Amino acid sequence: MSAVKGSVNKPSDAPSKRGEPAAATADATPADPKAAPTPKDPLDTLCQSARAGDRAAFDALVLQSYDRAYTIALNMLRSEPDARDVVQDAFVRVQRGLQDFQGNSKFTTWLYRVVVNLCLDAIRHKKRWGEKTPTELDTLPGRERNPEQDTADTELKRALAAGLQQLPEIHRATFLLFEVEGLSYEEIAKVTGVRVGTVMSRLFNARKKMQAFLSPLLGIEGSDTLKELKEEDE
């Protein structure tokens, strides 16, 4: 796999100066002075600057979004080398596709779509060639990893990681995007390219399967969301 002008591995240091958008778009309708301005996602601003050719902005984009992409890939693939390869490939594709990205969705939505699709391709490839699912990970990585919390939740995380492997891949992705990454139904629909109703159906089925798998292991009754399971464990 070709690298992006050197590397798209997570940079060790943030750029000293964040790039500014290439140009502002005028709004034909005067803004309502009483309306609170909608805050712009910093990643979207960086993406706009990167599209204009600002290399420092692209480096910052990788730095600030790498962990999100890696968490999803790691939870989907359960292999650190495979997750790193997927994220590397994802940012290669992001850089190549910057000029075609129109900004109709958030940058993170686009990034998740690329990562999830690459993960699904990797899983299908392993199945096609009869490769076994990696077992080197026995816990469920999350966005925030506190050592003390990890120790306290080891049993739960191990059970969750095992439960996720029982889900169909697209249901696993939906569950992770909602429960771990905190995306809305609408955002997940954009990531996975389906209707909101389909997202809700997939999430419902994933929760029920997770509940059925986890309840006997953890002695929990009636808890069918990750949040509730965590609260029971605390």
Question: 41-131 — its CATH code?
Answer: 1.10.1740.10
Q: How many CB atoms lie within 10 A of CB 107?
A: 23
Q: Provide CATH 1.10.10.10 ranges for the chain.
A: 147-234
9 closest CA partner among 87, 76, 73: 87
175 closest CA partner among 206, 151, 144: 206
The model's pLDDT over 85-141, given as tens digits with 9 standing for 90+, comes to 999 999 999 999 998 888 788 999 999 999 999 999 999 988 877 665 554 444 445
| CA atoms of 224 and 204, how far apart (whole Å) | 9
Q: Provide CATH 1.10.1740.10 ranges for the chain.
A: 41-131
pTM over 0.85: no
| CA atoms of 214 and 229, how far apart (whole Å) | 9
Is it the case that residue 178 has pLDDT exceeding 60? yes
Q: What is the pLDDT at residue 148?
A: 56
